Structure formats: C-alpha cells, structure tokens
C-alpha cells in the first residue's frame, strides 16, 4: 500500500512513537535506518511493519531478509511521511515499527554463571545504548534497567546499541525487588568504588555475577548499595578522576569475558 499524506491516521500513530508515553501506551517502538532494520529482521524481532521511501524503493540491503514465518507488512510512503516519523536530521529511507517483547527476569536468574549488567539510574541514552552494545559483544546474558535510566526505546538509545538490543534480553524493573531475588538464587552483585579493596583484575568473574553500574554523577543509589556484595576498583595510572559509565562497564565486561574464555 502507498501512504502519501503525513496527516494519515497511521502516520500520526507512528510519529507518536518518538515520545515515551506513546511507546508505553502502544507497546511499540520505532527503529530508523537500514542497519537497524536489517538487525531486527535477522534477529527475528516482532516487527509490525517496515516503512520505506516509495520514491527510492525497498533498500537493496533488505531484499531477501523477509522471514516467511513472521508476516511483516511493507508500506511504501512519501519522503514527507519519513521526515515526520524519524528523529534524525537527515532521515534514512526506511524505518520499522517493532512490538515490545516482555523479557522474564527468571531467565536471567536461571542462567548458570550468568554475567548480567544492571543499570541504576544511568540517564544518558548514549551510555545506556553503548553498555547494551558492550554487553552483547562480551557475551553477557542480559541487561537489567532500573528506575531512572534513559528509556531503552528512545531513538538515541536505540541508535547507540547498533542493533545489539535485538541480541540479548533487556529487563526493566524495580531494583529494590529484582536484586534480592537474584541474590537469593546465588548471584553476586558487584559495583565499582574508588575506595574498594579489590582490583577488577583480581576479582573472580567466572562465578554468577551481576555488574551494577550507577548514575553518571551520583553513582549507585543507597538502596542498591546496601544490596551489593563486593566493591571493586578499576586501577588507573593517569590523572583522570574517574571513567564514564559506559567505559567502566565495558572494561569490567571484557575482563569478565577474558577470565571466562581462559
């Protein structure tokens, strides 16, 4: 089908997904660009429709990626419709509407020797997206987002994940309830602290470990801090006082990966 007018009812619904309240109400989100749509198709994400610029046709990179088991509607639209529904200054010629999936916490807790990243109030969408991407690269079992984090379905967060949000479970919830449940199942909660006695390079990451990454300025909340089992530090030789949240998470994830591969 072809949609030309930005005033079309469906177009208005798609454009609403640029705002969090509408993503929550519709249980859907929007992804922009050839790369993200490719990753979503390859990963078997629950796509409602793929919308492309009718003047340019279906991008050649997406040809042949249709999953015959999952019926996805392909919609041809005008450039004006693309512009209305995208968040970037120079819109790419395709976007897709994805239905949110509900990831169960139990699957992460049940993971033997699972490596999970927990975000506690990480507010920058770029940091949240980069941490999800690093967790994917390091083979983590999943990512848990507590209250106060940037919305994982924000277009900026999604772009920063570079498609990794389709590769591993992402659970959202209240850390005050989730973390005690994980601890009861034998998970060790670890966070970074400048006063910690352990170096991250001497810590045993081969056990079941959840890495807790706190807010960029304030660190982890008081409630979370009371639940943490071990504090570790990332040794630094230069004069920087601390590391960006995504950098710190990435260093810990890759040290855990190194130990687990060894």
Name the residue range of residue 110's domain: 105-261
Specify whether 145 is located in the same domain as 68. Answer: no
- Does residue 110 share a domain with residue 94? no
Write down which residue in 80, 99, 118 finishes a domain: 99
Examine the domain organization and report whether 182 and 55 are in the same domain.
Answer: no
**79 and 192 co-located in one domain:** no
Residues 142 and 234 in one domain: yes
Domain match, 109 and 79 both: no
Do 82 and 112 lie in one domain? The reply is no
Measuring CA to CA, which residue among 216, 199, 209 is closest to residue 117? 209
94 and 140 in a single domain? The answer is no
> Do 245 and 209 share a structural domain?
yes
Residue 118: beta bridge partners? Answer: 144, 212
Cβ 187 vs Cβ 175: under 8 Å: no
Domain count of the fold of the chain: 2
Q: For position 1, what pLDDT does the model report?
A: 59
Alpha helices in 87-236 (DSSP H): 105-109, 125-137, 155-161, 175-184, 222-227
Decide which of 99, 121, 140 is a domain's last residue: 99
Burial group, residue 22, by CB count within 10 angstroms (0-12, 13-18, 19+):
middle
Are 63 and 138 in a shared domain?
no
Same domain, 111 and 235: yes
CATH number at residue 51: 3.30.1330.30
For the chain, 262 residues long, the average pLDDT of each consecutive 10-residue run is 89 96 96 95 93 93 73 92 89 94 82 93 97 98 95 95 95 94 95 89 96 93 95 93 92 97 83
Strand order in the sheet with 198-199: 170-172, 142-145, 115-120, 209-214, 188-192, 230-233, 198-199
Residue after which a domain boundary falls, among 50, 84, 99: 99
Three-state DSSP class for residue 151: coil
Domain of 199, CATH number, reads 3.40.1280.10
Name which of 246, 231, 251, 143 is nearest 188 in CA terms: 231
In this structure, are 252 and 208 located in the same domain? yes
Residues 31 and 157: beta-carbon distance below 8 Å:
no
């Amino acid at each position: 089908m072809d949609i030309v007018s930005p005033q079309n009812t469906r177009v208005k619904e798609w454009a609403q997904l640029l705002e969090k309240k509408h993503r929550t109400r519709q249980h859907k989100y929007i992804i922009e660009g050839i790369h993200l749509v490719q990753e979503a198709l390859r990963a078997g994400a629950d796509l409602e429709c793929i919308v492309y610029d009718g003047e340019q046709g279906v991008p050649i990179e997406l040809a042949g990626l249709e999953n015959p088991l999952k019926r996805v509607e392909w919609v041809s639209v005008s450039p004006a419709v693309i512009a209305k529904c995208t968040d970037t200054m120079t819109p790419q010629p395709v976007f897709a509407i994805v239905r949110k999936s509900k990831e169960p916490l139990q699957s992460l807790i049940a993971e033997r020797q699972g490596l999970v990243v927990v975000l506690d109030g990480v507010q920058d969408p770029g940091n949240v997206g980069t941490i999800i991407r690093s967790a994917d690269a390091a083979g983590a079992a999943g990512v848990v987002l507590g209250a106060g984090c940037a919305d994982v379905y924000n277009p900026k967060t999604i772009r920063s994940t570079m498609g990794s949000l389709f590769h591993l479970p992402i659970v959202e919830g209240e850390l005050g309830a989730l973390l005690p449940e994980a601890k009861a199942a034998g998970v060790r909660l670890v966070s970074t602290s400048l006063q910690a006695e352990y170096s991250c390079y001497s810590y045993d990451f081969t056990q079941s470990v959840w890495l807790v990454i706190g807010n960029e300025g304030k660190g982890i909340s008081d409630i979370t801090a009371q639940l943490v089992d071990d504090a570790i530090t990332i040794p630094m030789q230069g004069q920087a006082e601390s590391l960006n949240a995504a950098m710190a998470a990435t260093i810990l994830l890759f040290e855990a990966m190194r130990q687990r591969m060894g």
